[in-house]
Chain A
């Protein structure tokens, strides 16, 4: 098991209980998706995992080590976060953005290898190296954000809404790239509002609703789950069916 999260509780201030007893795990080599509506706590989960938010209680174990809410430790241990809305440094060139992804590394030869690897994933970036990241198109910026995440050679890549704001054709390319990264051996935890696409590529998935994990299963199971279909996939059903499914216990 690469990542294990036990009974995580995260608050904003005193009043807002953003994550409630969240437990889940991610195994080596998997793509695990977390789907949920706006405000369900998906990004909160990501920021907590990378160590920027301190949980009130609960335990995060990564690669056999307990994580202490220090981003430095999480990155050193092999996590990398590609945050929602990319958060590139627009005042820096693409090359500089990538180099910051490898900030903690000193193995020049391997950094060069990884640079070649991200160019094989996103060839266009090679032509844009000297350009300021802020001048790129949205799709290219998302590529830089993912490439920057990969430059730390992470064991676990945390992707927060990578398809947000992209044109439909680019969304498909993005999900292809994610699968390609997974095939190269990087484990992926994907948080998405685009439930259909992210369940399709996921080995396993969790449904997050107002801070609770309410469903879990393989990607295919959740794609067939009527309550997931109704809430996240836009499939219409008659009322009794929904009520019946809503009261059913979550799949183990």
Chain B
């Protein structure tokens, strides 16, 4: 039972981590919380629905890749439309955040106005989803989502640490202006940043769609991922991963716990937000918050 719960927790936690990484990537360089990320994730799920159900009947893997690409491009377009002019004018972070919220509302309402408020299911990845392991029943999809999320995050980590663009992104997270003084085209760098964040978000959106449903307000779930990113320390990649997975585990454990016969599952969100509040009191910078000091 506990084993089963942990697998479920890791699965949802790794999906949170996928989304949280997107928040952290953007925050680390542009210093604002990209609240349009949830809408990008939602649109990624709709791309999957379009190519798997509505227009084509593609199998899961190609559909996943197309959705990741689609969400990446959408994230890039969001940046061009909503943030790039603010960036060039060196506007304060607050302006970016307001622009992001506007973009989130606009995109969600475009979905309501065009495709409608219906809930759509994505076809299951496995015909027979559960495997029996002793007394535990484990979902193959959970294992699959966990494995793929970890793989995607590992790939991102590799890109950030071992490629030129990745090195420039890490440098820009400390001093974007200096990166541009070295001749790096910042517009290009930010485009890569949003493509990466969007692609991982698209993957998360598809997994959410398969596990649950596809609907216009499904992006709300990113609030949880955002909490994960804050718990880990906004702007820190390892922080986003650990924070997301931790939150998923805590939620899964809370959902199956009882106190004096009263199930706690209805209080799940109270615990998530409580965990955040508690952590912010103890460690305001999050678990992996940045403490880089510069010698003068």
Q: Which residues of A contact B (CB under 8 A)?
A: 50, 52, 71-72, 74-76, 81, 83, 85, 87, 89-92, 96-97, 99-101, 103-104, 134, 136-138, 141, 148, 152, 165
In the complex, the answer to whether A85 meets B295 with C-beta atoms within 8 Å is no
In the complex, the answer to whether B179 meets A100 with C-beta atoms within 8 Å is yes
Residues of the B chain whose Cβ atoms lie less than 8 Å from the Cβ of A72 = 180, 183-185
Q: Which of chain B's residues has its CB closest to A79's CB?
A: B183
Residues of the A chain whose Cβ atoms lie less than 8 Å from the Cβ of B190 = none
Which of B167, B173, B181 lies in contact with A71, CB distance below 8 A? B181
Q: 18 extra interchain contacts, Cβ-Cβ under 8 A, other than A71-B180, A103-B164, A138-B295?
A: A52-B181, A71-B183, A72-B183, A72-B185, A81-B181, A85-B296, A89-B174, A91-B173, A92-B171, A96-B170, A100-B167, A100-B184, A103-B184, A134-B292, A136-B295, A138-B296, A148-B182, A152-B182
In the complex, the answer to whether B181 meets A76 with C-beta atoms within 8 Å is no
Q: Beyond A100-B171, A103-B168, is A75–B183 a contact (Cβ under 8 Å)?
A: yes
In whole angstroms, how far apart are the Cα atoms of A201 and B254 in the complex? Answer: 71
Which of A81, A137, A148 lies in contact with B295, CB distance below 8 A? A137
Q: How far is the CB of A166 from chain B (nearest CB, A)?
A: 11
Which of B167, B170, B183, B295 lies in contact with A152, CB distance below 8 A? B183
8 closest A-B pairs by beta carbon, nearest first, are A75-B183, A89-B171, A87-B178, A104-B183, A71-B180, A89-B174, A90-B292, A96-B167
Q: Beyond A90-B292, A134-B294, is A50–B181 a contact (Cβ under 8 Å)?
A: yes
Q: How far is the CB of B7 from chain A (nearest CB, A)?
A: 35
Residues of the B chain whose Cβ atoms lie less than 8 Å from the Cβ of A81 = 181
Give the residues from 201 to 220 in chain B that come closer than 8 angstroms, CB to CB, to chain A: none
Which of A83, A85, A91, A96 lies in contact with B181, CB distance below 8 A? A83
Q: Beyond A83-B178, A134-B292, A138-B295, is A89–B183 a contact (Cβ under 8 Å)?
A: no
In the complex, the answer to whether B182 meets A101 with C-beta atoms within 8 Å is yes
Q: What are 25 A-B pairs at a CB distance below 8 A?
A: A52-B177, A71-B180, A75-B181, A75-B182, A76-B183, A83-B178, A83-B181, A87-B175, A87-B178, A87-B181, A91-B173, A91-B292, A92-B167, A92-B170, A92-B171, A96-B171, A100-B184, A101-B182, A103-B168, A134-B292, A134-B295, A137-B295, A138-B295, A138-B296, A152-B182
Which of A71, A90, A99 lies in contact with B174, CB distance below 8 A? A90
In whole angstroms, how far apart are the Cα atoms of A49 and B121 in the complex? Answer: 57
In whole angstroms, how far apart are the Cα atoms of A50 and B294 in the complex? Answer: 24
Q: How far is the CB of A134 from chain B (nearest CB, A)?
A: 6
Q: Beyond A52-B177, A90-B174, A92-B170, is A100–B182 a contact (Cβ under 8 Å)?
A: yes
Residues of the A chain whose Cβ atoms lie less than 8 Å from the Cβ of B171 = 89, 91-92, 96-97, 100
Residues of the A chain whose Cβ atoms lie less than 8 Å from the Cβ of B184 = 72, 100, 103-104
Chain A CB within 10 A, most for which of B181, B294, B295: B181
Residues of the B chain whose Cβ atoms lie less than 8 Å from the Cβ of A165 = 296
In the complex, the answer to whether A89 meets B185 with C-beta atoms within 8 Å is no
In whole angstroms, how far apart are the Cα atoms of A74 and B181 in the complex? Answer: 9
Residues of the B chain whose Cβ atoms lie less than 8 Å from the Cβ of A85 = 296
Residues of the B chain whose Cβ atoms lie less than 8 Å from the Cβ of A134 = 292-295
In whole angstroms, how far apart are the Cα atoms of A91 and B168 in the complex? Answer: 12
Residues of the B chain whose Cβ atoms lie less than 8 Å from the Cβ of A76 = 183
Chain B CB within 10 A, most for which of A74, A89, A92, A97: A89
Q: How far is the CB of A151 from chain B (nearest CB, A)?
A: 9
Residues of the B chain whose Cβ atoms lie less than 8 Å from the Cβ of A100 = 167-168, 171, 179, 182, 184
